Copies of this chain bind each other. A is one copy, B any other.
Amino acid sequence: MPKTRLEAFSDGVFAIAITLLIIEVRPPDSATGELAGDLVSLWPSYAAYVVSFAIIGIIWVNHHDIFGRIITVDRPLLFLNLLLLLTVAFLPFPTALLGEYIRQGDNAHIAAAVYGANMTAIGLAFIAMWTYLARVPALLVPEVGAEGARRARRAATIGPVVYGVSIALAFVSPVACLIVYAALALYFAISFTVAGRAEGEQVTDSR
């Protein structure tokens, strides 16, 4: 399986998952004159849409960074990539939960915790990928190698740790969780941008 096919398939899944998010924002069933109020009270759905959109967008950028360092794909990597896609394609479900329940007492804690658990799973899938690549460095471009894969894996551990902690935070304040997720997305977007400039965008895709 050539790398480009795997990338194109993954891009397809990311593009669909990111665009499907909107169908979880359901138009309200409003009585006359109540649409404005009903739309305002849907704010958690919009917030969840924006945060999940940003997160999948950043995962897509991240995914390209990884495959920009890979020369060739073998079957285990192929299935580890499917595992990652499985966790990303699941995100519309906790996004819908968060939108629906974030203002609803006890349920809000659960919804935010499920969202955090999904994010943790995505982070673990990235770590699994780097762990495998550190073992089979022949798949990587020579400048990266096993050492680079181990460094990337260490850097990737931040994700599941932060998201794991957010599961606990969910039981304190679900809205704080949502703000943390939005802040993390913004942080990653900015740090990617700064890093990209610092490196002069050297890590380019071999395609």
Tell me the A residues contacting B by CB distance below 8 Å.
1-2, 4-5, 7-9, 11-25, 27, 30, 32-36, 39, 49-50, 53-54, 57, 60-61, 64, 72, 74-76, 78-79, 82, 85-86, 89-90, 92-93, 96-97, 100-101, 104-107, 110-111, 114, 189, 192-193, 195-197, 201, 204-205, 207
Contact = CB atoms under 8 A, between A and B. Distances in A.
B61 A1 contact: yes
12 contacts: A1-B61, A1-B205, A4-B207, A5-B11, A5-B207, A11-B12, A19-B89, A20-B22, A27-B93, A53-B89, A61-B78, A75-B195
Contacts of A201: 1, 72, 74-75
B19 A16 contact: yes
A18 B193 CA distance: 30
Nearest to A61: B78
Given A35-B101, A86-B53, A27 B196 contact: no
B89 A22 contact: yes
B90 A33 contact: no
A75 B107 CA distance: 38
A74 B201 CA distance: 7
A36 B96 CA distance: 15
Contact of A12 (B12, B49, B76, B195): B12
A106 B205 contact: no
Contact of A9 (B49, B60, B72, B193): B60
